[in-house]
Every structure is written in C-alpha cells, then in structure tokens.
Chain A
Amino acid sequence: MEFLSLLDITFFLLAGFGALIGIIFGAIPGMTATMAVAVCLPLTYALGLHHGLALLLGLYVGGISGGMVPAVLLNIPGTPSSITTTFDGYPMARKGEGEKALRVSVIASVVGGLISAAVLFLFAPMLADFSIKFSYVEKFLIILLALSVIASLSSSMLVGIFSGVIGIWLSLIGDYSISDGGNGKTRLMFDFMEPYLFEGFSLLPVLIGIFGISTILLEAEKGVKSDLSNERIKFGKGGGFSLSIFKGRLTNLVRSSFIGTFVGMLPGVGGSAASVLAYTQEKNLSRDSSEMGKGAPQGLVASESANNALTGGALIPLLSLGIPGDSTTAVLIGAFTLQGIQVGPLFIPENSETWYIMMTALVFANIVMFFLMFYAIKHIAKVVMVPKHILYPIIVMMCVVGAYAINYGIMFDVWTLLIFGILGYLIQKIGLEVAPLIIGFILGSQAEVYFVKSLESFGTLSIFFTKSPIAIVLWLLILASVVFSIVMGLKSRARHSQEFTTDRSASRLDKKELS
C-alpha cells in the first residue's frame, strides 16, 4: 500500500479534469478519444509520470464515454464506438426520454469500465509473468499475430495486411540503431534527408498527424458544415429513470462488459466492434428483443457497457506485451515512452507502484465520469453545439504544440505532422486502413530487431517453428485468425449477393470502427 503515499489532490484533480475534457471531446461528433489524448499530450510534458498518467487515463475513459451524448440526442455517434447507442438511444430521445436514455447509458458505462478494470488488474500481471520468458523468436511471432489479428478484422484482410506492411516500412526509415544491436547505418532515404530522419519519424508527431490533421483535412474537404445548428436537443422532462430499469438486465450488463473487455484485448480493434458484438449478442440471447432498435434500454446497456469495457481490455496487451489494443492506446504508448516507461512484460513487475497508480487512476476516472455525466449531463451536452470553425483551428494549434515540444523543439517534427496528416488523408481516401498501419508503424522496428537477431543467433528460418511449444501455439493462433478472416469474407460475400444494401452499411461500419 506504499503507493497510496504518492497520491495527492493534484492526481485526483487531473484524472477528473481529464475525464471532463475527454467527455467533451467524445461528445463532439468527429472527435474521438484518440484525438483527445493526442491534443492534450503537451499538457503532460510538464507533469510528472504519475500525474501525466492520471490525466491521460481520464481522457481515455471520458473520451470513450462522451460519445453517447450526440448518439442519444442527435442520432450521430460521437465516437465510432457509440454507433449501436444510436439504435435505441435516439428513438428514446424522440419519445422525450433523452435524459433517461443517457442515465441508463452512464450506469452501463461505469459498470463496463469497472469490470474491465478488474479484469485488467487480475489478468495483465499474469500475462506479463507468462510472457517474460519469451525470447526474440516468440516476441516476433507475437507481433506477427497482432498484425494478423488486426488485419483479419479489417474490412478486407488483404488490404489490412498491406496497410500494416506499409506501417512497418515507414517505421524502418532511419538508422538500424546501434543500441538495438544494429550497425547504425541508415536506409530507405536519400542522403539529404539524413539530418532530419536519422532516427526515423518520431512516433507522436506521426500519430498526432494521422489522427488530428487528417481529420481536419477530411472535414475541410466536406466544407466544414455545421449541420447541427438546426437540430433541437431533446432532453425530455428528466423523470422516468429509476434503477429498476436494470432489473433482469444484469446478465446483459455483465456479458456485454466481458465482450467489450475481450474485444479490447485484440490489437487494433476499435470500439464499434465491441459494441456491435455485444448488441447482436443481446439481440440473439435475450428473451424479449422485439423492442430493440425502437428505444429499448437493454440495447443501450449492451452498447455502452461494451464500449467502456474496451478501456481496461485494450490496456491488457499494452501493459503486458507492449502491443497497443486500439488506436487510443497506440497514442498512450507514445505518451508512456515520453515519460520514460517502456511498456512490455517487465513493466508491471518492475514498476509495481506505477501499476497500482494506473489502476487507481483508471477506477477514479470511471467514477468521475459517472458523476459528471449523471448529474451534469445537461450542461455537457451543450458542447455539441460549439461551432467547428472555432474548434478546428484550436485543434491544429494544439497539434503543433504537441509535436514541437516532444523532442524539445524540433521544427521537423511539426512538418512530420503535415506529412502524415496528408498521408492519413490519402490512406482513408483510397480505402486503406489506418489502424493496421499505425500498429505496424509502432511495432515495425521491434519486429526487425527480433527477426534479424533470431536469425543471427540460430542461423535458420526453421527456428521460428521449432523454438518452443509456445511458438507452435502462436502459429496456430495466426492460422486461426487467417481462417477466421477467410470464413467471414466468404460469409459476407454470400450475404452480399443476398442483400446488397445491408452489407454495404455493415462494411461502412467496419471502416468507421477502425478509424
């Protein structure tokens, strides 16, 4: 319990502040938790490790939760993960039960968040303990597995893998670092680039560019329309909510939370996969699903508990293996590195205090989120109306600060923002996937070291199959993810020929979830 002495009032204030800002970001359509973390990064530079973590985790939890506000009130998912919240939330709001719908969602969210935090607390140290024995061979295979899982969940596996490989390629630009046992020579660039790119692109400017600047470009292309001004927010009279709504819904609540946690653990899978899965499970398994889609609280419970359960789930592979579970944790990995934390199997055993502090921050952020949204939701909902022409320039400005200050003032990092902003825009335009690309970029240089070092010490490719039983298991999992993707592809093709329209909306959904 020594870590308790490290908690101070600032810690809790920051976690609460993070949750508030996160909720606001989540509540504005088009802005996500990922963006909230990316934009607020400069604030953490000046904070210490523990305070920085409190702020970041608050932002993460708040950002995921905030998406329910426009989903219920305006039928627009504020973040991709709240897409299924619109199915039942908006019909309820139209019936004048907006506040009731939001309160049901808030309770579902906090339960989902806390259950996943508990799973994280129990499971991450176990996984870390297990993976600590991994050699370079197994580590390389884990990265391969992460990439194949994320690619198999993309709308097309081929495109997913291709995007991932592009990410790896981008990460190889620069030198083959001597500190990793390389020969220190540069590759994949011309000589004149060497002063700027000797160590490759910095991770955070890349992420901020892809998630911040490219979103602005995509919006600018559409003309930055503020189509919200004509909408009237329908709150209803407030009444009608009581805890008895949850009577008989506990199975749903717990099941959806576990689905969310599990999906969160899979690398690169966004929140909408979790909430869609939980929603369809509720539809298939509940005794009476006839009202779902017309304004049934049970739909909200499934959707919101699952998408908040992502937070804990996504942190499991991040903290135990160093592999980010979704795009927000991908930004978190950068923020951790900045604070001098190397996430991976050794993180929890070597930094047990930090680990407990993270758990405290996560649980506290969930609680703050609950109180803020349960009691102040009416006021928070108004930020949905902030015009984009005010918001977007400020976002670009904060992106610049984040990128510039990251390496203590390197102007090239700011240009990196633009390069990857445009790249991110093009990628999304031509139908490549952002999430595999980012995961590939983050893991690419490690994959190289593990692969090359394994071959240097064993001298044969067969080592990847014969090193240990774990290697065989990993190969089986990789195979399973490929088979899964092929089966799903065939299934969707069959459906495609049956009902063209529904399939199109599903694939659109797929795309959204990964962005």
Chain B
Amino acid sequence: MESGLSSLLSVSIDFETSHLFFPTIIHWIMAGLFVLILVTKVVPFLAEVKRGERTLPIVGEPMDAFRFFGTLVLIVAYFYLMAVVGNLFPYTGYGFLFVSMAFVLLMSLMYMHEWTKKAVTIVVINAVVAPGLAWFILAKLFNITLP
C-alpha cells in the first residue's frame, strides 16, 4: 500500500519537454473549473435570461455604440499611425507628438455632449498643449524614447 501510494505520487520530468509540464496541469485545472462554472453559474444564468429576468452581458445591455466603437477605432488608428509617422521622423518623437494631437482632439470631440464655442476652444487648446507638454517633458527633458 505504502509503495503504491509513493509510486503514484512520484513524478519524473523530462527536461526536453519540461516547458510543457506546468502548462498542461494548468490546462486541466482550467478545463475542470470551466466545466464547474458552466454547470453552477452559466447554465442557471442562461435559464434566467430565457425567463427574461436578466440580460446577457454586452449584447443584451444598452450601450453607446457610437462612442464605444468610435473609441476602439480611434485607438487602433492612433497606435498604427503613430508608428507610421514615427518612422518618417525617426528618433524625434514627432510621430507621437503629431498623431497624439489629432487623437486627443478627435476623442475629445467624440466624447463631448454639448458642443459650444467655448467648449470646443478648450478642447482644441488642450489637444495642442497636452501632447506638446508631454512630448517636451518626456522626450526633451527626460530623453525618454517615444515613437
């Protein structure tokens, strides 16, 4: 009995495949927990959704689709263009500076609910000053690498 238990617990790990040893265990734990959650949480939840007591997250909730997807599109464009413009002026941080200005301006305008002359002026000034200041302090004073 004793030896049976210790042979059950003994483990030898092959060095060549040792990088997969721990991930495999994690996969099994994840799968087990997933099934448990599916049974104890997700199935009852879906039943409640079916009865109309609760709504599905994300798809069933009211959302400001314009601002949400607008944010995603702007961020993707921001990250992409920053690198593109940055490659035109290497080691200057201009890619960050110019693209940030456009990004801050557009995002501010998108989030603004009431467009008044005063509010738009503030947004435009902010869009020039904030990235300018960040660029100056970080890239010029502190010599931090920027795109």
Residues of chain A touching chain B, judged by Cβ–Cβ distance below 8 Å, are 42-43, 45-46, 156, 158-159, 161-162, 165-166, 168-169, 172, 175-176, 182-188, 213, 216-217, 220-226, 387-390, 392-394, 396-398, 400-401, 404-405, 408-409, 411, 414-415, 417-418, 421-422, 426, 429-431, 447-448, 451-452, 455-456, 459-462
Contact = CB atoms under 8 A, between A and B. Distances in A.
B108 A393 contact: yes
B85 interface: no
Contact of B68 (A156, A187, A221, A398): A221
Interface string B95-126: 01000100110011111110000010011001
Interface string B116-147: 00010011001100110010001001111111
Interface of B: 6, 9-13, 15-16, 18-23, 26-27, 29-30, 33-34, 36-37, 40-41, 57-58, 63-64, 67-68, 70-72, 75-76, 78-79, 82-83, 96, 100, 103-104, 107-113, 119, 122-123, 126-127, 130-131, 134, 138, 141-147
- Please list the 8 inter-chain residue pairs (A to B) with the smallest Cβ-Cβ separation, ordered nearest first: A46-B142, A176-B19, A223-B64, A389-B111, A393-B107, A393-B104, A409-B145, A220-B71
B13 A455 contact: yes
Contacts of B63: 221-222
Nearest to B91: A409
Given A389-B123, A396-B107, A429-B57, A459 B40 contact: no
A158 B21 CA distance: 24
B115 to A, nearest CB: 11
A429 B57 CA distance: 6
Contacts of B78: 396, 400
A187 B6 contact: no
B146 A165 contact: no
A42 B144 contact: yes
A459 B11 CA distance: 5
A46 B143 contact: yes
Contacts of B40: 158
A449 to B, nearest CB: 9
Given A158-B37, A224-B111, A401 B138 contact: yes
A169 to B, nearest CB: 5
Contact of B130 (A397, A404, A422): A397
A500 B7 CA distance: 51
A404 B100 CA distance: 14
A159 B38 CA distance: 11
Question: Which of the listed residues A186, A389, A447 has the most CB atoms from chain B within 10 Å of its own CB?
Answer: A389
Contacts of A393: 103-104, 107-108, 111, 127, 130
Contacts of A45: 142, 144
A102 to B, nearest CB: 28
Contacts of B41: 156, 158-159
A220 B144 CA distance: 30
B107 to A, nearest CB: 4
A422 B126 CA distance: 27
Contacts of A225: 113
Contact of B12 (A397, A415, A417, A459): A459
B46 to A, nearest CB: 12
